Amino acid sequence: MRGRQGTRKRILDAAGELLQRNGFGGFSYQHIAAQLGVKNAAIHYHFPSKTDLGVALIRRYRANFTWWTDQLATQGLDPVARLEAFCDLEERYLREGKVCPLGVVGVEHAGIPEAMRRETEVFLGELLAWMTRTLEEGAAQGVMTYSGSAAGKALSVLTALQGGLQVARVGGSTTFQGVVEQLRSELGLPRERVARKPVAAMGA
């Protein structure tokens, strides 16, 4: 049983890397099998169809995001530090030559399986809910300012960061940093970031 679970994890690890680099339509079971040195049958044993694999990947991203936000809460980070940690997370994808998983499936949304689309929509809802709470707390504590609702601003922030990652693939990392600086200005955050304890990175 332990060996089977280990193989399943390796398949998800490899598929996650391929998804974030090439998109869902940009890899097949053959790519995973070649990378892991296994037969296609080993992948089909755990994930009978690519839809099953795609759904498992999005559920894994959701679980990892929940774990990551729990780590922020455990560290007692304030709303500003939590938002900065999220920006750091997005920038980490850029440094690794990846696209945020939500961005990948967002671009391919019309072409991915229905079950995968549903999981992605739930993921988006969870992410926006967390972002909204963070902005609400920031405003209540007087450390963030913005016009309109927290929910509307959360959508604006996420859209800017997702778009920034896409543009940075062409324009380079400085374009993404420019997006982050603009968001900090719009939220009334200090121009210079305060040195803080590093936040655990979210798994793949």
pLDDT of residue 201: 58
Asked if pLDDT for residue 141 goes beyond 60, the answer is yes
Q: Compute CA distances 162 → 87, 89, 115, 139, whole Å.
A: 10, 12, 23, 23
Asked if pLDDT for residue 193 goes beyond 50, the answer is yes
Task: Name the pTM for this structure.
Answer: 0.88
Residue 51 burial (10 A CB sphere; 0-12, 13-18, 19+): middle
In whole angstroms, what is the distance from residue 68 CA to residue 195 CA? 20
Tokens representing 186? 């719009």
In whole angstroms, what is the distance from residue 107 CA to residue 102 CA? 9
Q: Domains of the chain by range and CATH?
A: 55-186 (1.10.357.10)
Asked if pLDDT for residue 191 goes beyond 90, the answer is no
189 Cβ contact partners less than 8 Å away, ≥ 6 residues apart: 80, 143, 144
pLDDT in tens, 90-121: 999 888 888 888 888 888 988 999 999 999 99
pLDDT in tens, 155-189: 999 999 999 998 998 888 899 999 999 999 999 99
Q: What are phi and psi of 41, to 5 degrees?
A: -60, -30
Q: Where are the alpha helices (DSSP H) in the chain?
A: 2-22, 29-36, 40-46, 50-74, 79-95, 101-107, 114-140, 150-171, 173-186
In whole angstroms, what is the distance from residue 3 CA to residue 9 CA? 10
CB 47 within 8 A of CB 56: yes
